[in-house]
Amino acid sequence: MTKFVTYTTPVITLGSENSIHETISLMKKNDIKRIVVINDVNIPVGIVTERDIGKFLESDRTTRTLDKITLNEIMSRHIITITNDQEELLVQCAIRMDAFQISSIVVVDNDGELIGIVTKSDLVKSFSTSFRGIYKVKNYMNTKMITCRKSDSLPFALSALNKNMISRLVVTDNDGKPVGVISYDTFLKNSEYFKFGTRTETALEYLPLKTSAKELQVGDLIGDELLTIESEEDLAKAAKLMTQYKISGVPVVDHRGNLEGMISATDVIHAYHEVKVHAVMQKQDPHFT
């Protein structure tokens, strides 16, 4: 494992022969959501995220322990890189993230060796300070959401995440008002494996949690407090909340607390991509809004 000087996000690396056990342990220790996989000459060859782990472990039907499953089996080999001499590096990263619907860009030198990584979190933090007062939350929020109830089972919630290829579900009460959010991060941080790091855990037991927890409901894992934002608020404020509380999505509500949508890091990246284009168009045509 190697740690490099990076832009704002620590980049932690492993080799393809390393295990899921080692990956989960490093994610926990460093409070990160992805590991870059490199070869023996420091060339990035893949990336593994929380979502990759969750999806693989839900579908794996072997009895292997997690220290026997290598990253070679689960890593994504389709990584997008950018050289560190690129002009307007963060804007270029936003364009690539938006185009390829990915959550990070690996930064390399002209020889292809790993230098660092730029994540959605980095761009969200940058947006919160650089683009205040330009857009409102309603301009970019997603009104098509997948929700669940507090009474739904954990296997149901995990299946919904994987089936819809999303990172979080908004949890609602019987009146449709948001009461929480459950994500891959929720599963990882509440898993007994993640808490104690036992090597005896198998893929079948790991997600959804241990056998004794299969009767647990979504409501057993979410807290009583929920961070929300109104649709008329500044998008930069939403970005600041995500940065401050280390989250990647905030439910959007009206003044009565009714759910209107979700604003996520992905939406902020889309705005980051467009803000420069809109600035040029407005300069050329003052009537453009």
144 and 265 together in one domain? yes
91 and 147 together in one domain? no
Within a domain: 97 = yes
Structure tokens at 288: 């453009």
Quick: pLDDT tens for 109-129: 999 999 999 999 999 999 999
Predicted confidence pLDDT, tens digits, the chain (289 residues)? 544 434 556 689 999 999 988 998 888 888 888 999 999 999 999 999 988 887 787 776 667 888 889 999 999 999 999 998 888 889 999 999 999 999 999 999 999 999 999 999 999 999 999 999 999 999 999 998 899 999 998 888 988 988 888 888 999 988 889 999 998 878 777 766 555 555 545 655 555 555 455 578 898 888 878 999 999 999 999 999 999 998 889 999 998 889 999 999 999 999 998 987 665 545 555 554 5
How many residues are given for the chain?
289
- pLDDT computed for residue 184 by the predictor: 80
- pLDDT computed for residue 6 by the predictor: 43
23 and 76 together in one domain? yes
Alpha-carbon span 253 to 43, nearest angstrom: 44
pTM: 0.82
Q: How far is CA 243 from the centre of its chain?
A: 12
High-pLDDT (> 70) share of the chain, %:
82
Within a domain: 126 = no
How many domains in the chain?
A: 2
- pLDDT computed for residue 201 by the predictor: 58
94 in Cβ contact with 272 (< 8 Å): yes
Within a domain: 194 = yes
Domain with residue 158: its CATH number is: 3.10.580.10
Q: Which residue segment(s) compose the domain that 28 sits in?
A: 2-119
Helix, strand, or coil here: 242?
A: helix
Closest CA to 103 of 29, 178, 18, 168: 168
Long-range Cβ contact pairs of 66-70 (< 8 A, separation 24 or more): 66/19, 66/20, 66/21, 66/24, 66/193, 66/199, 66/201, 66/202, 66/203, 66/206, 67/19, 67/20, 67/21, 67/22, 67/199, 68/19, 69/19, 69/20, 69/203, 70/16, 70/17, 70/18, 70/19, 70/20
- pLDDT computed for residue 276 by the predictor: 74
